[in-house]
Structure 1
Amino acid sequence: MSQASTGNPAASKAHPDLPDARPQPASDPAADDLTADKLTPDDLALLLEGVPEGYSEVHYRGRRYAMTRRTFNRGRSLKVFARELGGNDMVSLNGYLTARGWQLKPCEMSEHKVLDFLVHCKTG
């Protein structure tokens, strides 16, 4: 089972072969049918590893977002919050590493929205 970042920036290096340098899930679920049960535990871990610790700006579906990731409990939990710059959209989630792998808990929004954001946001 893959584990996401423990808060150490060197431990969460993105995959160098991908054009936007962010890991993408191997299963590549369809965007309109995106749920956590469609992803393998390793896919979900890769998506979470691709979110840099601290503040960053990302592009998602043609819009810019300010995104923050904070890792807690020695890498066993995390919080990701992104707000559209110049707009009203936001994405918020908590993640918990369990014996079965990462479990996502979206904050007041659908799991689909959170996963779509994680799959399609690009840094830089």
Structure 2
Amino acid sequence: MADDDLDGLVARVPLGWSRQLVDGRAWGISRTDRAGGRSSTIDGEELGGAGRMSANVWRTAAGTLLRPCEMPAEQVLEVLRALPEPG
């Protein structure tokens, strides 16, 4: 995945906590940025369901890196791709 694609997916998650629809299901998703935006933590859980996701995103000189927490990267990307684009 190109860095721009990952950065765009992360940008779909508003800062702080928000309620989002992911494939028609309600999720609570939060994003916290650190180090002037060079690091982001994204956590989400399906409200009333079993879905979960958590990841760290690091923006380095070598590019943007996705580091999921104890789950496959595709599971995190699936949720991020299902979020509406900002704007």
TM-score, scaled to structure 1: 0.64
Deviation string for 1:89-117 (max 9, x for gaps)? 11100010111221000011110111111
**1:62, distance to aligned residue in structure 2 (A):** 2.0
Q: Which runs of 4+ in 1 moved over 3 A?
A: none
**1:73, distance to aligned residue in structure 2 (A):** 1.0
Aligned partner letter, 1:82 = G
Report the identity percentage: 36
Aligned to 2:14: 52
- Distance in 2 separating the partners of 1:118 and 1:42: 14
1:78 aligns with 2:34: no
Deviation string for 1:42-71 (max 9, x for gaps)? 111111112110011111122110011000
Q: Which runs of 5+ in 1 are unaligned?
A: 1-38
- Distance in 2 separating the partners of 1:41 and 1:66: 25
Larger radius of gyration: 1
Q: Which runs of 5+ in 2 are unaligned?
A: none
3-state DSSP of counterpart to 1:86: coil
Give the counterpart of 2:76 among 81, 103, 114. Answer: 114
1:66 aligns with 2:47: no
